[in-house]
Amino acid sequence: MEDSDSIDSISQVIRGPSMKKSDSLPTSAALRAAHLIERIGRVLRAGDHATGLNPAQAEGLRYLARANRFSRTPAALADFLGSTRGTVSQTLLALEAKGLIERQANARDGRSVTLELTKAGTEFLRSDPVRTLAAAIDASGADARLAEHLEAALREAIAERGGRAFGACHSCRHFRRDQRKGAAPHHCALLDEPLSASASLLICAEQTTRT
Ligand code: SF4
């Protein structure tokens, strides 16, 4: 099945009310979309192996490229992956051994560490299979609503398991826009920290969506 077929099907489902929590059985279109999402995940994992990383390593690397400075920690990565600290520790050791990430002292407390992509890690992600999938989504004609509806579905799935959503900072109830002039005009009311425009686009372990 072509990628564009997959995206069309997902869009067809998410436009309608079928993602609402309901006592009724899912529609055949919703089931088809769910199976396509699963299949896309499988294709991506195969792509990860072809790059020389296992899927957990690839997901960890992607996470560190998208997470804000408060969330680039082993504990937050474990939460994001729904994995144990021990498993994540092995993943991080492998990424360090490949020269793709490095540990740095946490500037906020000096005791813990933050995880940062190295130059090689940033370069590695330029050929990330996710980018190929994103290009296929663009080519399918899907618009921004596709990501919004998939995000809503993902949030619901994560909430049912008691996990955290890790949404974008600018959509957080603690985000305060344009509080000052300069390179970091925004503010986090929870952590009492300044935020730059680019940081506002990153995902955060503490993010709580506005209601
Ligand atoms: S505003 Fe929310 S998402 Fe942004 S840094 Fe603060 S807690 Fe995290």
Q: Does ligand 1 have an atom closer than 6 angstroms to the CB of 175?
A: yes
| pLDDT score recorded for residue 90 | 97
pTM of the model: 0.85
Ligand 1 centroid to Cα of residue 35, in Å, is 33
132, amino acid identity:
T
**How many other CB atoms sit within 10 Å of the CB of residue 36?**
19
In testing the pocket of ligand 1, which one of 166, 172, 179, 203 has its CB within 8 Å of the most ligand atoms? Answer: 172
Cα–Cα–Cα angle for 84, 147, 118, rounded to 5 degrees: 50
Ligand 1 centroid to Cα of residue 191, in Å, is 7
How many CA atoms, within 13 angstroms, populate the side-chain half-sphere of residue 128? 21
**How many other CB atoms sit within 10 Å of the CB of residue 30?**
20
- Extended strands (E) in 43-198: 101-105, 113-117, 175-176, 186-188, 193-195
Conformational region of residue 178, where left means phi above 0, alpha means psi within -120 to 50, and beta covers everything else: left
| pLDDT score recorded for residue 15 | 46
Which residue has its alpha carbon closest to ligand 1 atom 6? 188
| pLDDT score recorded for residue 21 | 53
Cβ pair 116, 104 in contact under 8 A: yes
Task: Provide the β-strand partners of residue 103.
Answer: 115
| pLDDT score recorded for residue 111 | 79
Pick the CATH number of 3-166 from 3.30.70.920, 3.90.1150.10, 3.30.2290.10, 1.10.10.10: 1.10.10.10
* Domain spans of the chain, in order of start: 3-166, 167-211
Which residues touch 11 (CB under 8 Å, ≥6 apart)? 142, 145, 146
Q: Does ligand 1 have an atom closer than 6 angstroms to the CB of 70?
A: yes
| pLDDT score recorded for residue 9 | 47
Ligand 1 centroid to Cα of residue 188, in Å, is 5
| pLDDT score recorded for residue 107 | 78
Task: Provide the β-strand partners of residue 172.
Answer: 209
185, amino acid identity:
P
| pLDDT score recorded for residue 50 | 94
Sign of CA dihedral 202, 45, 97, 127: negative
Which residue has its alpha carbon closest to ligand 1 atom 5? 188
Averages of pLDDT over runs of 10 residues in the chain (211 residues) are: 46 46 79 95 95 96 97 96 95 98 86 93 96 95 92 90 91 96 96 97 94 76
| pLDDT score recorded for residue 109 | 77
Q: Render 163-181 in DSSP notation, one character per residue.
A: -----BGGGBTTEE---SS
| pLDDT score recorded for residue 23 | 62
